[in-house]
Amino acid sequence: MFDFVRAFHDAFRGSTWTFVIVVALGFGVVGAVIAWIVDNSIKNSKADAQQSATLSRQLTIEWHMVYPAVIPAEGRVAALPLFELPQSSDGGGLEEISGKPGGDFAGKTAEGFPSHVKQYRITNYSPKTMFNVRIALHLVFKEAIRRKNQPNAIDSGNVVVDRDWEIVIPKIDPGDDKAFMFYAMNSGKCFASVAFPSTATAQLAGTNSRETVQLITPGTDFFFFSPFAK
């Protein structure tokens, strides 16, 4: 090794300062390359950790129209009864409807038509149970206006209520077979719609604080629930 350094030095015809400068520049370049490699490794590790954390905090939401809307074997369902609400931010939550398993809990409108009922299915695909999941649904209510020449036909009018409505789900265990389900139906005199935000908050098992979780939906829901009665 010493002979190699001496030969390298002799190549500069005894110019010690030139030799020192070249060696210093060489070490500088090598050091810069090593620093760049280490910095990128750290950034990639952080990105992987962040992606892993995001994947561990995700809920998916599906919705489908159901008819008939029947009470399941456990004899109860969680429901979001839609009705004209005040513009204030007070209120929230889901109601529990109980009854004989197999019975239709939605019924029919005053005109004898089946009530529009939608089932919302929220699945936790993360590895941890989520407790006290809080989701701020957005509700919009529009006037229902009957046509003068067609009394059975109803058109939507102006927006009368536009507000958030927070629901709290006690827990959602991981797995497709452990999904939380609730139903929404219109029990008022206006057209009503339900929209989900892109995030919610929850406490993950093994933690002492609330965290933001991602809500993955199939897209924007443009469906309006028809009025129950007018």
Beta strand residue intervals within the chain, DSSP E: 58-65, 76-82, 95-98, 117-124, 130-146, 154-172, 180-186, 191-195, 199-204, 210-216
Does residue 212 surpass a pLDDT of 50?
A: yes
pLDDT digits (tens, 9 = 90+) for 71-120: 889 899 999 988 766 666 677 899 998 988 988 887 766 566 667 889 99
Q: How far apart are CA 217 and CA 195, in angstroms?
A: 10
* Beta pairing class for 76-82 and 95-98: antiparallel
pLDDT > 90? residue 37: no
Confirm if 136 and 197 have CB atoms less than 8 A apart. yes
| Interval 120-158: pLDDT, tens | 999 999 999 999 999 999 999 998 888 778 767 788 889
Distance CA 167, CA 135 (A): 5
Q: What local confidence, expressed as pLDDT, does residue 50 receive?
A: 47
Task: List, for residues 49-70, the tens digit of each pLDDT value.
Answer: 444 454 468 999 999 988 888 8
Question: What pLDDT is stored for residue 197 in this prediction?
Answer: 94
pTM here is 0.72
pLDDT band at 208 (very low <50, low <70, confident <90, very high): confident
Q: Which of 116, 74, 114, 118 is nearest to 97 (CA)?
A: 74
pLDDT digits (tens, 9 = 90+) for 147-202: 778 767 788 889 988 999 999 999 999 999 999 999 998 888 888 999 999 999 99
What ranges do the domains of the chain cover?
A: 2-53, 59-216
* Burial label, 122 (beta-carbon count in 10 A; 0-12, 13-18, 19+): buried
